[in-house]
Structure 1
Amino acid sequence: MMRLFVIGAALIGGGLAATSTYAVPSTAPTNAAQLDPAPVGMSYEFFTFPSYHTNVTATPQCEKNLKDASGTWLPIRIGGTTQDLSYTVASDKDAPKILKFEPSFMKLAGQYEGSVTLGLNRGHNDVQNTVAAARSAKEQMPNLLAIEMGNEPEYFKNDGQPIAKGTWDAATDAASQASWQISIGKAVGNIIQASNSLQNPPQWGAEQLLNAHNSSAIGYVKTFSHHNYPGGSIQSLMSHANVVKNMNTFRNDVAVAKRAGKQYVFGETNSATGGGAANVSPSFGAGLWVADVCLRAATLGISRLYFHHGTIGACQYCWWGRYSMGAPYYGAMFATAAFGGGTSIVPIDSGNSRHAAYVIFGADGKPVRAALYNSDYFAGSGSRGNHVFVLTGLTGESVKTKKLSAASATSRVDQGASPTWGGQKYEDGTCKITGTETRETVAVEGGRASFTVGASEAVLVYL
């Protein structure tokens, strides 16, 4: 066993704090999940993408901060409900009923320095139009990673999409996807991102599509995508045990895709559907969820998570745009820094407690960072509890740490309670880093070191 899990007690600040002990593997175990160069990604709603990249001042700097933390530009996905619509809107705050776009859209997307997954229309059942759009994307986007055909097809029937006339269920959708994969694939190659459903697998999932498709259709698939919005209160959302339970829902679907040689991604995810929950999604607790879900998903082999950003000015879960800055951005920065340059990851916690511990390994197989998270809920009143994480198997005489913190799990940037990441903040309107970075030194004795993490806080340990 690579994990040693012991509960005890330590005297902290005049009181008792629970303690858990974890063994850090000296080399990456054989079951360590391989990491994508940039697991933390961004999904832009199709009709809002141009405005995010031409009208929102913070966008280029926010994207660059994430790139600087990981060494790789974050991947973006352009899609959502409006990818399945065919209109021009007067205001970028109006979600269109119909949508038309032209090659200039592709040109703008092609200027992004990272990879781009592009969602195209399947709902209108005009495969030749989508083939033409896919060809245009392939020609004008040197950064094109994948093409989606349709967003959340399980809702096509209720949305009145023409393709869903008559019988429309998971089986008919699977047949439709197979046919479209061949048509689009012949035009642009094996870069299809399939599935793109929100309903939990196995229905509408990768396993079902693999069972229904022939080798020709599957040959054009590069990636299987699923969407995930857990919802709930701040407390239930940020609970580590709940994060583990939610991610385990996808364990088999991911494994099936991997056995077929395909990547598995969350093509769209965030804290709650419909642009987010007003009392939950802008909170620091939602930011802690971002950090934990990225790390846990990666341990299952989910290559990338694309966090959705919708209508500008009406998007509760947006990292930037609705408010100048959103607290969840801090969680994204934490996870990105934890992954940065790493090649594999394992969880070393039990998975059923409030306390999370992950180890990230470098190209040489040696541990480079440990991410520690205390999901005990702190609402800002009374005494803030602590949890002591004891790591064993460490080398050297000391390690450095960097803390993700806020006044409480309910803290919000727009209410004057910005989180801090290593003592620093991100400036409203510009996303520029302000303040001096703070790293603490923790002594290592006999290969052991103790890290005190407050309730609703996380710490990154540089090994």
Structure 2
Amino acid sequence: MLSRCLAYWLWVCSLSYAFAAITVYGPTGAERPTGTSSGVGSTAIPIQESWLNAYNAYNNVLLQPPPLPNPLPATEFAITLPSQALNMPGLSIPQRGDFWGFSIEMSVVEQVIGKNASFIQVPFLNLLATVAERAGTVRIRVGGNTQETATLVDSLLDNAMIQKNSPPQTAATNTGQTPTLLYTPELLHLLSEVSSLVNAKWYLGIPMNDTSHLRLQIAEAADAILGDNVLGYQVGNEPDLYASHGHRPPTYNETDYFNEFGVVVKAVQQDQKINNKYKLVAPSLQGQWTPEDLFATGFLDSYASSLNVIAMEHYPDQNCAAEFPDGDFGPIKDPQTVFSEYLTHTSGQKIVSPYLNTAGIAQQLGKEFMMFETNTASCGGFRGVSDSFGAALWAVDYGLQMAYSNFTGALLHVGGQNVSYNPFTPPPTNLSLFNQWTVGPIFYSTLFMSEALGTTNTSRVVDLAANGANEFTPAYAVYEDNALARIALINYMNAQNGVGTINVTISIGGVPVNEPKDTPAEVQVKYLLAPSVSEKEQITWANQTFGGRFQSDGRLSGTEFVQKITCNQGANTCQIPVPAPGAALVFVSRDAQSSGDPTTVTFSTTAVTKAIETLRIASSALATSNGHSGGDFPLSGTSKGSKGGASALRIPLTLVLASFMGALLLIQ
């Protein structure tokens, strides 16, 4: 025994190298800087701002908040509301708590949702749970540009679920470039497993790149595997952009899409493997065609019976010149310049305005009307804007404005590492052992919206045109079961020299004059807050947070704090402060608050045992250790089996001898 042990340790002494390198290089080959030298405690290998900036999803752009409006709107104003819905004009149709959902690009399913039905991304489940517990369910679309060329196959090499090939179009101006996908039924089993754990429902897409050879297998398989968890099948993703993306001839128009859609409808009706033939989603126009021009072809007259959802897609701006510099998109837009355009109530109003007529048509036909894909800006969003607290306030306002305008739902788009608008982003694969997910500020808006609408599916929304219809201080009322339940107050302003906070005096009842005054003795308020509109990480919803970049397992941390504000029943008033910037959700009654007060079921993050332990080391030691002279040595790595790591560190003889002596003592 002793001889074998001695032989082993003599062999260790003969080793020249050890796999212990910690010098790490960024995606462009530049050395990634090491951490600070605070020396407080220990930390995982740090990720520095300069390296993060290589990815849009984790960029370090921090914009300057716009100055206070000039003239400054009134910072103290009153809102008087009837207590009963029948006395409030202009209310929306009844809305569901799952109004905000998510649109996930099909090509990033493995990174965002899971590798297969046995390996689901736990942070994704936790994030869905935080929404589903507040809203009752959560709606998710898997598709996008990728769905148009995706093909279902029985199997792939190495039991892969998805295989990405080169995109069919390579022109620099093709902003619709996404990989051509092959996928197996395992993808649908993955979605089914998610639905078994979280109350998630799905929208999928029928490919439309070749209507001469239709591929309906996704609907056939999904009907069998997902059943009622499928909400609908999108037919055509932004068909009004087919020509500009090179997917159809330049002459492609509304009539061409009308005819092609008819081919799909006929094929679905004749396919005996598709159980529900009336779940189609269309036309999903992006804005190049108007809904009215398409409907003039007889589209709804011919196909309404096959439609479950009338859908549109809209981004209020685009950042394509920055992402495709060789394309014909004009000059690159400055994020600092466009930032203020998102910090105003008029933004959401302008977005919904072209669709008000279609919303009315959808009601007449008894169809849902959805914004099927949306976010701050197409082509990845704007760094510093799309991932700012300002975007969260914008999405709260935009979502409520759509609900007020009789949309029945909207889906925030989720892309890969190259976009800055993601509600949530997993870490790059090579960092997944060391870091967690990044939850974008815009995700917080889905929690606010879910709690504002509740779970009864009876909530009706009205834009109050508050403070003289001021664009920086919008407000909404939500009536549930025909009674006033909640009030949403938004303050887009960024405080300067102590100026910017608004105080809103709310009075309930007394309008019309025969309605009794009904201000309660106390209201409860949840706040969505951050230090500034440009903030990216220090964001809280009712004092809870998902943390900063690479810090989230999908669960809220911190103790929830719901502020109680005493009202003056004698004066029939209740004063609600709203910090600058911030948003407040006022619960008029305890029932209104408890109906949106979730007990979220979350999931363990130890579902998969890590074969390699993450390294933790004092940051002061790391700052003066490896990494500062990487350019003078061969490239090193930390991956298992890395050859580059072999030249990084020789084992000190004293360390080997000490280990050997320790082993002898243990043997004795």
- TM bucket by the smaller chain? 0.7 to 0.9
Is residue 286 of structure 1 aligned with residue 402 of structure 2? no
1:181 offset after TM fit, Å? 2.6
Q: Aligned letter for 1:51?
A: Q
**Pairing 1:451–2:576 present:** yes
Say which of 216, 219, 222 aligns to 2:308: 222
In structure 2, the CA distance between the partners of 1:192 and 1:247, relative to structure 1 (3 Å rule), is same
Whole-angstrom distance in 2 between the partners of 1:354 and 1:147: 38
Matched residue, 1:176 = 260
Partner of 1:24: 81
Where do residues 100-249 of structure 1 align in structure 2 (5 Å cutoff)? Answer: 100-111=182-193, 112=195, 113-129=199-215, 131-142=216-227, 143-161=229-247, 164-165=248-249, 167-187=251-271, 188=274, 189-199=277-287, 203-205=289-291, 208-209=294-295, 211-213=297-299, 215-231=301-317, 233-249=338-354
Q: Give the strand-richer structure, 1 or 2.
A: 1
Contact kept in structure 2, 1:182 and 1:216, CA below 8 Å: no
Deviation, 1:90, is 8.0
After superposition, the C-alpha distances for 1:393-449 in whole angstroms (9 at most, x for unaligned) are 143211011111100000012xxxx21111111142302211111222222223221
Measured after TM superposition, the shift of residue 454 of structure 1 is 2.1
Contact 1:22-1:349 at 8 Å conserved across structures: no
TM-score for the superposition, normalised by structure 1: 0.87
Kindly state the Cα deviation for residue 54 of structure 1 after the two structures are TM-superposed: 1.3
1:11: which partner in 2? Answer: none
Once the two structures are superposed, the pairs formed by residues 59-70 of structure 1 within 5 Å of their partners are 59-70=124-135
Q: Hey, what's the Cα distance between the residues in 2 that align with 1:127 and 1:193?
A: 20
TM value normalised by structure 2 = 0.61
Q: Distance in 2 between matches of 1:273 and 1:399?
A: 40
CA RMSD of aligned residues (A): 2.4
Tell me what 2:525 maps to: 401
Deviations 1:8-64 (A, max 9, x none): xxxxxxx99622222222122464221024101011001112331116442111111
Deviations for 1:353-407, whole angstroms, at most 9, x for unmatched residues?
Answer: 32111111223x111111111122x2x7643411222211143211011111100
Query: Does 175-184 or 252-261 show the bigger shift?
Result: 175-184
Segment drifting more, 27-36 vs 251-260: 27-36
SS of corresponding position for 2:214:
helix
Could you tell me which residue of structure 2 aligns to residue 7 of structure 1? Answer: none
Q: What residue is the counterpart of 2:475 in the other structure?
A: 357
Partners in 2 of 1:118 and 1:127 — Cα distance? Answer: 19
**Does structure 1 residue 54 correspond to structure 2 residue 119?**
no
SS in 1 for 2:182: coil
Stretches of structure 1 that go unaligned for 5 or more consecutive residues are: 1-14
Please give the alpha-carbon distance, in whole angstroms, between the structure 1 residues aligned to 2:301 and 2:137: 33
Q: Determine the C-alpha separation between the residues in 2 that align with 1:305 and 1:184.
A: 26
Relative to structure 1, is the Cα distance of residues 21 and 155 closer, same or farther in structure 2, using a 3 angstrom cutoff?
Answer: same
Q: Identify the range of structure 1 (137-146 vs 206-215) with the bigger mean alpha-carbon deviation.
A: 206-215
* Deviation readout 1:227-264 (Å, 9 max, x if unpaired): 11113723211311222222222211211222222110
Offset at 1:102?
2.4
Shift of 1:302: 0.6
- Rg: which structure is higher? 2
Shift of 1:76: 0.5
Please give the secondary structure, in 2, of the residue aligned with 1:286: helix
- The answer (yes or no) to whether the contact 1:43–1:76 under 8 Å persists in 2 is yes
Aligned residue among 531, 552, 564 for 1:441: 564
Tell me, in whole angstroms, the C-alpha distance in 1 between the residues paired with 2:208 and 2:348: 32
**Does the 8 Å CA contact 2:79/2:504 hold for their aligned counterparts?**
yes
Residues 174, 209 of structure 1: 8 Å contact kept: no
SS in 1 for 2:266: helix
2:439 alignment partner, SS class: coil
SS in structure 2 opposite 1:115? strand
Unaligned runs of 5+ in 2: 1-71, 116-120, 152-162, 167-176, 318-334, 427-436, 509-517, 589-668
Return the alpha-carbon distance in structure 2 between the equivalents of residues 356 and 448 of structure 1. Answer: 19
C-alpha change, 1:57 and 1:214, in structure 2 (3 Å) is closer
* CA contact 2:310–2:369 (8 Å) conserved in 1: yes
CA pair 291-186 structure 1, distance change in 2 beyond 3 A? farther
The 2-side partners of 1:220 and 1:452 are apart by 49
Provide closer, same or farther for how the CA distance between residues 135 and 399 of structure 1 changes in structure 2, counting only shifts above 3 A: same
Cα distance, 1:211 vs structure 2: 5.0
CA distance 1:43–1:206, change in 2 (3 Å): farther
Query: How many Å separate the matches in 2 of 1:327 and 1:384?
Result: 24
Aligned to 1:354, the other structure's residue is in SS state coil
1:317 paired residue number = 421
Q: Distance in 1 between matches of 2:473 and 2:356?
A: 21
Give the C-alpha shift of residue 166 in structure 1: 6.8
Offset at residue 126 of structure 1 (A): 4.5
SS of residue in 2 equivalent to 1:89: strand
Q: Find the counterpart in structure 2 of residue 346 from structure 1.
A: 462
Bigger Cα displacement from structure 2, 54-63 vs 285-294: 54-63
Distance 1:16 1:136 in 2: 56
Aligned partner of 1:227: which letter?
E
Residue correspondence of structure 1 range 416-427 to structure 2 within 5 A:
418-427=538-547
Residue range with higher mean Cα deviation, 179-188 or 404-413:
179-188
Which range moves more in the overlay, 41-50 or 209-218? Answer: 209-218
- What one-letter code is carried by the residue in structure 2 that aligns with 1:106? L
Task: Determine which of 116, 141, 164 is the counterpart of 1:89.
Answer: 164
- Secondary structure of 2:448's counterpart equals helix
Q: Residue type of the partner of 1:337? A: E
Q: 2:103 aligns with which of 43, 46, 65?
A: 43
Q: How many residues align?
A: 432
Q: 1:120 to 1:51 in 2, by over 3 A?
A: farther
- Matched letter for residue 458 of structure 1: A
